[in-house]
Structure 1
Amino acid sequence: MMMSMRAVARSAPRTFTRLSATTLRQSRVAQTSSLLKSSWTPLRSSQQFASAFSTSQLRQKQQSSEVDEELSVKLESEIQLESEMRDSELPASVKDFLDNSPFELKDVPGKEDVVLTRKLGNETITVTFSISDLTNYENSEDFGDDALGDEDADSPENQRASEEAEAEEGLEGDDDQVPPTPCRLNVVVEKPGKGALNIEAIAQGGQVIVDNFYYFKDPKLAHGESAEISHAAQELYPGPPFGSLDEDLQLLMERYLEERGITQALAVFVPDYMDIKEQREYQTWLKDIKSFIDAK
């Protein structure tokens, strides 16, 4: 019903303009016929056209103002909802990490990336993660659900397969459990004049899972701050996949990272802080949009 009313409202000015144009043409025909009896008076036709045009503009402006007001009210409602959902205190995992970790946090409002830095001897250690991972992960889940379709998801075959998978994983009766969001970590360990190690890892479920272990003679290649630098890094030999290395070598490399602060505490902190930052940025985005809509 609301959509049909909006459609009528949108078409009203156009209909009025068409009717006005028809009236104008008829008036001109009548005026042409009356030339045999009296002089032509074009001023009246011009006044009719100006009146129709002005009225149409006024109605369009009124409709636009109504939409702006509705949108502003809705945005304010969303801002209030997010404010009520936001906790006044930081989660214990976040507070403990910030209070006790040797890392310094760099979080620039409006930016997606968060950076942790620390010094260890002559080494500079940088850990970068991004709230874009949270959005991408949620979108991939939505895509997976949509791809199945409602009918396919509810089919007996899919329900049976889902139940069997849950039974194998020991998750029966635990439907409320939410899988942790995987967060990508880009870890860089630099030494002056010696290049840098670049470690790609995932923080998930309180664990740091290493994917790749690179070495670059030029530390700039480890950070990939531009498309040209990233392209140059891709041209170099990356080394074998981490999972294909000797198990003892993998364990020693993981211990190497733990000594530099890439620990379980970091793996717990990153997803929790990512949620906090995403909510902050969303609230700021809502306020910026509302401020623009309300501006006169």
Structure 2
Amino acid sequence: MAFVSATAASTSLLLPAPSAVSGVAGVSASMHRRLRLAPLHAVKGSSSAPVVMESKVKNKKKGSGAGNLPGALDVEIREAQEYLDSDEQEPVPDNFPFEILDEEGTSVVILKRDYKDEKIEVIVSIPNLEGGPEFDDEDGEGDGENAGKDDEEAEDDESAGDSSVSLKVVVSKDSGPKLEFTCTAFREEITIDDMLIVEKTDAEGEEKFPYEGPEFTELPVNVQKGLFKFLEQRGITLSATNYMHNYMVTKQAQEYIRWMMKLKDFVRQ
């Protein structure tokens, strides 16, 4: 089996795609280490970029509440709620191994499970969407310019499959170090961007500068493949990450509505 090097500056190993239920994802602050599982999409930079929930209020006709902030917020909340009502949440997949901890008002969801003598914790962030979801202005009147953009908008809808979720996976035992992976999960592939061994330290001990190991792509190929299999066995699969992608899109809409309602309550006081 041949493995292809992408560039000298940033090596990306192309490995055979896993089964339909395998995968992983994340981000590194100092270096971009990644293991590509299938050459289906290019890795899209840092998934920590803010997701833009583009307002459709600017497309409203002047005179229908222009300059009226509470009215504009009402419009945005209504359209977001209509979007949410039309969004069918997928059922939890069979064999989904994690407990989902979802707190209102937060931008992440925490997954937890036990695996043999290990504890697995996964922090899943709001999806990094291509431009962010928009809430359709169903009663808006189309004009020549907008009509000419129909094909472009259709392509944008299709590109939603390129969106991703950032994962931080922590594998720990009762004693000893922890393994921390930062990963990015796309619809059809999962990348390992970084892996660290985190030693337990004394709270009052002197500052230390531990050796963090080589870049992920500098590890032997069999070690990289083994680490991906390691995560897959602990529940980080495409089946699980695709479900969490859809879950987080819905959460994003819910949190957006809550945020808008808080803003509306404040400006009306």
* Cα distance change of structure 1 residues 107 and 176 upon mapping to structure 2, 3 Å threshold: closer
Partners of 1:289 and 1:249 lie apart in 2 by 50
CA drift at 1:206: 3.1
Whether 1:253 aligns to 2:219 is no
The aligned counterpart of 2:8 is none
CA drift at 1:90: 3.9
* Cα distance change of structure 1 residues 71 and 273 upon mapping to structure 2, 3 Å threshold: same
* Cα distance change of structure 1 residues 219 and 202 upon mapping to structure 2, 3 Å threshold: farther
Which of the pair has more CA radius of gyration?
Answer: 1
Q: Tell me if structure 1 keeps the 8 A contact 2:167–2:182.
A: yes
* Cα distance change of structure 1 residues 89 and 174 upon mapping to structure 2, 3 Å threshold: closer
TM-score normalised by the chain length of structure 1: 0.54
TM-score normalised by the chain length of structure 2: 0.59
The aligned counterpart of 2:128 is 134
Partners of 2:85 and 2:191 lie apart in 1 by 30
The aligned counterpart of 2:75 is 77
The aligned counterpart of 2:179 is 197
Partners of 1:71 and 1:102 lie apart in 2 by 45
Whether 1:96 aligns to 2:92 is yes
Partners of 2:260 and 2:156 lie apart in 1 by 33
Q: Count residues in correspondence.
A: 180
Unmatched tracts of structure 2, length 5 or more = 1-64, 133-153
Partners of 1:190 and 1:206 lie apart in 2 by 28
The aligned counterpart of 2:111 is 116
Partners of 1:237 and 1:211 lie apart in 2 by 18
Report the AA paired with residue 96 of structure 1. Answer: V
Q: Tell me if structure 1 keeps the 8 A contact 2:120–2:169.
A: yes
Partners of 2:216 and 2:118 lie apart in 1 by 23
Counting only pairs closer than 5 Å after superposition, residues 188-267 of structure 1 correspond to structure 2 as: 188-218=170-200, 235-267=209-241
Q: Percent identical across equivalent pairs?
A: 29
Structure whose residues are more often helix by fraction:
1
Report the AA paired with residue 158 of structure 2. Answer: Q
CA drift at 1:134: 2.8
* Cα distance change of structure 1 residues 211 and 220 upon mapping to structure 2, 3 Å threshold: farther
Q: What is the SS of the residue equivalent to 2:162?
A: coil
The aligned counterpart of 2:158 is 177
CA drift at 1:87: 3.5
User: Which of 267-276 and 181-190 deviates more?
Assistant: 267-276
The aligned counterpart of 1:151 is none
* Cα distance change of structure 1 residues 237 and 202 upon mapping to structure 2, 3 Å threshold: same
Partners of 2:257 and 2:190 lie apart in 1 by 30
Q: Tell me if structure 2 keeps the 8 A contact 1:68–1:294.
A: no
Unmatched tracts of structure 1, length 5 or more = 1-66, 140-172, 222-231
Q: Tell me if structure 2 keeps the 8 A contact 1:196–1:219.
A: no
Q: Tell me if structure 1 keeps the 8 A contact 2:187–2:238.
A: no
Partner residue of 2:251 out of 277, 290, 294: 277
Residues 129-155 of structure 1 deviation map (CA, whole Å, 9 limit, x = unaligned): 222x537x648xxxxxxxxxxxxxxxx
Partners of 1:212 and 1:250 lie apart in 2 by 11
* Cα distance change of structure 1 residues 273 and 214 upon mapping to structure 2, 3 Å threshold: same
The aligned counterpart of 2:85 is 87
